[in-house]
Copies of this chain bind each other. A is one copy, B any other.
Amino acid sequence: MSIQLTAKSLFEVVQDAKITSPRGFTAAGVHSGVKRKSLDLGAIICAVPATAAAVYTTNAFQAPPLKVTQESIGVEGKLKAFVVNSGIANACTGERGLQDAYQMRQKTAELLGIPPHQVGVVSTGVIGEYLPMEKVLNGLERVVNEAETEGGELFAKSILTTDTCTKKVEVSAEIDGKEVKIAGVAKGSGMIHPNMATMLGFVTTDAVIDPNHLQSLLWQTTDETFNMITVDGDCSTNDMVVAMASGLAGNHPLHPQHPDWKKFQSAFSYVCQELAKKIARDGEGATRLIEVKVDGASSVEMARKIAKSIVGSSLVKSAVFGADANWGRILCAAGYGDPIISPDSVDVCLGPVSVVKGGLPAEYDEAAASEVLKQEKVEIYVSLNMGEQKATAWGCDLTYDYVKINASYRT
């Protein structure tokens, strides 16, 4: 992706990112009592009905709130509010869980005096427990009342589970001579794998864009960003990414033939990519971000599959944790990612260090290779030399702390 190279000319990255920067949005986060202490209920509210698009988990056990959100967006592709609770996922909770999600939607709509279909709902946390509805409904009153333009940080905190930090990005771009802002916030730390595993992403913008174009853009961008991260190979029941566009920036409606479409697309993609990388870096127990770039593939699908195989390999992840330049594991993972690659033409570099050339061990300095693996961001390059297609995937190392966190998540 050439986005970062040309980023400066296309858009500006804003330092103190806020989900509420795009015109029209307010947010809040409160402690409702789902969790013992920390913030557990948040809302993003838009002053006008915002164009909305979303991507959902492919897991068969899709949680009830996702069904409710799909129904809401399905009505007219607009949302004025999105409410989220953390601590309990409201997944595998059947009819009662579905009614609970409807009730969260209904209560929010009543508080705001809007139709229920303008409200989206999502939950994250432990699977198979029912929500303490009285606490949640009381919490909703507070969260709706407290929503304000400075509430982005509280919202970002309220959606976390095992995350160690909030994840925020903001950019601004000039579209039709108007300033358009795009901001994003995400959570996700474990149960993370391609296809929207337990992670939530929220993108707000004040651009004018219709629901169909926003949905297409979100699908395409998700494939290259959120779907290219993996922490542990587990794809969750609750994942979703939602985008809301208030349309208050005053630009001409955006679509692929709009002269600034590429600019908007790049800025939007940057927001999603940075959120995805932040999620990968904050993988449970992780100490490093791993970035795997595969090029020379004969199809994009092949490049993606191999990049994800490598970044998802427990052995590669453990080797990175130990700063052991065990490139054999990288080749091995590439090999089960796609059995039709040609082993004799593969090159592998760890950062600047060439470790495999034409499928054979290269002469290299072990200390230099190990040094690459000790960086905060570990870069692995795999050239298949078969075609022109490429892909990038992100993940993290596998550490003692991953095991520790997951051996006792509920207790």
Contact = CB atoms under 8 A, between A and B. Distances in A.
B407 A321 contact: yes
Nearest to A340: B60
Most buried by B among A234, A343, A407: A407
A351 interface: no
A92 B329 contact: no
A361 interface: yes
Contacts of A334: 60-61
A127 B403 contact: no
Contacts of A327: 127-128
A195 B337 CA distance: 13
A375 interface: no
A235 B58 contact: no
B91 A328 contact: yes
Interface string A115-149: 00000000000111100000000000000000000
A158 to B, nearest CB: 21
B234 A314 contact: yes
A233 B339 contact: no
Given A127-B332, A338-B60, A403 B399 contact: yes
A328 B312 CA distance: 22
Interface of A: 58-61, 89, 91-94, 126-129, 190-191, 193, 195, 232-237, 312-315, 318-319, 321-322, 324, 326-329, 331-336, 338-344, 356, 358-361, 398-400, 402-411
B59 A191 contact: no
B343 A407 contact: no
Contacts of A341: 60
B332 A61 contact: yes
B234 A333 contact: yes
A190 B315 contact: yes
Contacts of A405: 318
The majority secondary structure among interface residues of chain A is loop
A58 B336 contact: yes
B408 A233 contact: no
B92 A343 contact: yes
Contacts of A129: 361
23 contacts: A58-B339, A60-B338, A60-B339, A61-B359, A92-B359, A126-B328, A127-B332, A191-B332, A195-B336, A232-B315, A233-B314, A234-B314, A234-B329, A237-B328, A237-B331, A237-B332, A314-B402, A314-B406, A322-B409, A324-B410, A326-B410, A400-B403, A400-B404
A398 B126 CA distance: 20
B398 A403 contact: yes
A328 B411 contact: no
Contacts of A342: 60
B61 A128 contact: no
A235 B328 contact: no
B59 A336 contact: yes
Contact of A94 (B60, B191, B344): B344
A314 B191 CA distance: 9
A312 B190 CA distance: 15
Contact of A403 (B94, B193, B403): B403
A310 to B, nearest CB: 11
A161 B336 CA distance: 21
A266 to B, nearest CB: 31
Given A128-B327, A331-B127, A360-B92, A315 B406 contact: yes
